[in-house]
Structure 1
């Protein structure tokens, strides 16, 4: 295979970045812009030892799942990489991903992966938006003062770059995110506020983060700055209020959204980390609240919270089902974050013990327990692989819930879980590959997979959440 050669390629799979995958003489070819089911004329643009890349010259036969993207920024923005595929195709593809990785990496061949649980309306689902801000070109006017010659951009990065695509509308963000981005843009240009340049570390405004509580309508705006204050903050708050108040009313003719919190986050560090350590409340409250089922959760500027509240309930209901709680169980909630999963299970368990390494998250978890009047849940700060064998060595857990980050579970943690010897393990994963890797270790330790349920938390993107339930094997069934 050589650069510039043209092949007719059938697309049989897709990567998580949205590229189609086909084969030529057994070699995988990644084809940008192609989707599963396409038959395409492809020009080879890169050749490596084990794979190649190509671009579509023409579509000989279009996939039955191919649609026109509904977002006008689909070709530029790197946020939604599956805009050209209908939702049915996305759900089917994600089911296939989970099944393939469990079989190939985890050795799980005897359990059916259930169809992916999707959304009735797979748009406007994100309750958190992170907008990088990029400066326009500054020039001196006749008075010698710097002025923007080009408007600033507030939006999302182009794929594999740090160039910001200015997005006035986003199909997956809640309405307040768009409204507040427009207000901040107007404020920056009106007040000639400097924008941070990561190349030289100069400039003030870095990011806008918007958190929207779907159940209560409360909205938080976080301005990340390379400094300690913004000029004419009252004008910024005024513009933000106007933007939120201009949003459509709900079906009862009442406001759907309320600006409840405006926060300044101070980040003077160079690098890609978005939030700094210090937060200053400019207006309103330092937190907002949301509700999931019967539980109320307090959301701070730095707290983690699932970004799709509709599917969060779907996910948590499935966790409760897989845990099969009767009210007599002690549950270990590992990588517990702010405690949402454990607290959701608390009414059906005897005792919840959560472990989390981030101190701020543990504080939030314990506070959320107090807010909801939950007295059978406690949260411990530390690494699970260290806390389990030391502080909790005498605790007999019936159920262990694992909800690790994308890199999966620490090897020592899996070893510690096996020593706890629970009856059930419920593993919530955001990466099928690391899930499969960890499942193999747990399988070798005496557990077998009984249920596999993918959940689509991020429609139009290459992400899939998976819940797996494992039970202890008998000695004759031990893997």
Structure 2
């Protein structure tokens, strides 16, 4: 998935102005049987044929629900009482579960998480396509042996509570910062360094940024670890360039944490939910860190996209390679390529790789990575809808196109380009079942869905990744 995300439009309307078909009242309680999990991990039930989303409820449970919010086409509720618990309900081990917005499914047995994620994919296909889903080859979700300690990157918001600098995540559906001292899904390296940097900023009396008052400096602490190399990068995201004593802070970070090989300041002055701004400056050490995966090495700059779960990434990319079924003669286009990971993973079975991404820093890293491995690959800045027609006109037509877009899915212009360029195979790596389903429906007349393989990249959350192999209909 590319690091470029489309800004979501805030559609804030007063409840009184919303025409609603939901016939219930705020605070109303009623018994409810939970039928399935929603795409955000909430339980879904029906009260008098009206959809109700219940946070924390699990499929098969019978609960007493209390209405907390009424929307035009559905209601939201909380659990007042569990009358009949799911046999798959477990005690969540994390003290922040239900408080921070990071995980949604720690209270669900892991093997059942894998089954429910496949079902979330099926629901999206039923909702957004005309496919006979019962006839699709949708395979069991590929999971992890140890579904903890897997994230190689943390992005903690910085704030101040009771006069003390804290770092953590915003609560679910709120802007209330939940201070986190230990995250169970982070790798030990990122977790340790993030907590250490938090203490150093406190020691140097760095002022957290307050977005309401528009005061302060430090917005985020971002840490990324090379799991195979042991190298760690720290990015201090600030509202303005002037971070007092930033050189001393960088020195102290590397002194207390020798595993840190790169300290970078990123400036983000915008009033935005995006973590990074456009300007990054190296404060100490290297501008990048190195990581290896599957015998390939990668240079990672702060804004470059790299998958967050290395163990599952290997499985994901091997599934892409299986879907591609390369013979050594194929030309491959890698759209939303990031630092070139998928293309380089496929390179030993392909004739040539070309890729594109709108993030210039990612393309620089991708070309370095290809050159370092002596791989016949070319990466350019821009969109696939610009480059694919240009290359085709010049006589270079891809046999296989691989896409790994953001949660917003593929741009319609890209899908139209796929229809025109007509690669034999189109391999779609998706992190959002809803946008995946809509995009597959759009291509249904030109491409057949051969099979779909869900992969659990983010255990304990409701997210599910999926590889779809599409073959051109002749």
Would the aligned equivalents of 2:301 and 2:362 in 1 still touch at CA under 8 Å? no
Aligned to 1:302: 303
Would the aligned equivalents of 1:117 and 1:456 in 2 still touch at CA under 8 Å? yes
Would the aligned equivalents of 2:427 and 2:470 in 1 still touch at CA under 8 Å? yes
Alpha-carbon shift at residue 380 of structure 1 (Å): 2.1
Aligned to 2:8: none
Would the aligned equivalents of 2:30 and 2:65 in 1 still touch at CA under 8 Å? yes
Alpha-carbon shift at residue 420 of structure 1 (Å): 1.6
Residues 68, 151 of structure 1: alpha-carbon distance in 2 compared, 3 angstrom cutoff: same
Equivalences for residues 17-36 of structure 1 within 5 A: 17-36=40-59
Where 1:392 maps in the other structure, the secondary structure is helix
Alpha-carbon shift at residue 456 of structure 1 (Å): 0.5
Matching of residue 261 in structure 1 with residue 262 in structure 2: yes
Equivalences for residues 363-378 of structure 1 within 5 A: 363-374=364-375, 376-378=376-378
**TM-score, L = length of structure 1:** 0.89
Aligned to 1:203: 216
Q: C-alpha separation between the residues in 1 aligned to 2:124 and 2:199?
A: 47
Aligned to 1:2: 24
Aligned to 1:175: 188
Q: C-alpha separation between the residues in 2 aligned to 1:416 and 1:234?
A: 48
| Range that drifts further, 465-474 or 70-79 | 465-474
Aligned to 2:362: 361
Q: C-alpha separation between the residues in 2 aligned to 1:380 and 1:283?
A: 29
Q: C-alpha separation between the residues in 2 aligned to 1:240 and 1:17?
A: 36
Alpha-carbon shift at residue 353 of structure 1 (Å): 1.3
Would the aligned equivalents of 1:183 and 1:239 in 2 still touch at CA under 8 Å? no
Residues 49, 341 of structure 1: alpha-carbon distance in 2 compared, 3 angstrom cutoff: same
Alpha-carbon shift at residue 204 of structure 1 (Å): 1.5
Residues 334, 189 of structure 1: alpha-carbon distance in 2 compared, 3 angstrom cutoff: closer
Aligned to 1:165: 178
Structure 2 unaligned spans of 5+: 1-22
Q: C-alpha separation between the residues in 1 aligned to 2:462 and 2:368?
A: 34
Equivalences for residues 32-43 of structure 1 within 5 A: 32-43=55-66
**TM-score, L = length of structure 2:** 0.90
1:94 to 113, 117, 125: 117
Where 1:289 maps in the other structure, the secondary structure is strand
Where 1:184 maps in the other structure, the secondary structure is helix
Aligned to 1:144: none
Equivalences for residues 381-420 of structure 1 within 5 A: 381-393=381-393, 394-420=395-421
**1:250-284 deviation line (CA, Å, top 9, x unaligned):** xxxxxxxx221111223333433322223222222
Alpha-carbon shift at residue 95 of structure 1 (Å): 0.4
Alpha-carbon shift at residue 406 of structure 1 (Å): 1.1
Larger radius of gyration: 1
Equivalences for residues 43-442 of structure 1 within 5 A: 43-109=66-132, 110-136=135-161, 150-233=163-246, 236-237=249-250, 239-241=252-254, 244=257, 258-374=259-375, 376-393=376-393, 394-442=395-443
Residues 243, 122 of structure 1: alpha-carbon distance in 2 compared, 3 angstrom cutoff: farther
Q: C-alpha separation between the residues in 2 aligned to 1:230 and 1:43?
A: 47
Alpha-carbon shift at residue 238 of structure 1 (Å): 5.7
Would the aligned equivalents of 1:418 and 1:442 in 2 still touch at CA under 8 Å? yes
Q: C-alpha separation between the residues in 2 aligned to 1:9 and 1:458?
A: 29
| Range that drifts further, 228-237 or 205-214 | 228-237
**Larger RCO (CA under 8 A, 6+ residues apart):** 2
Where 1:449 maps in the other structure, the secondary structure is strand
Structure 1 unaligned spans of 5+: 137-148, 246-257, 475-479
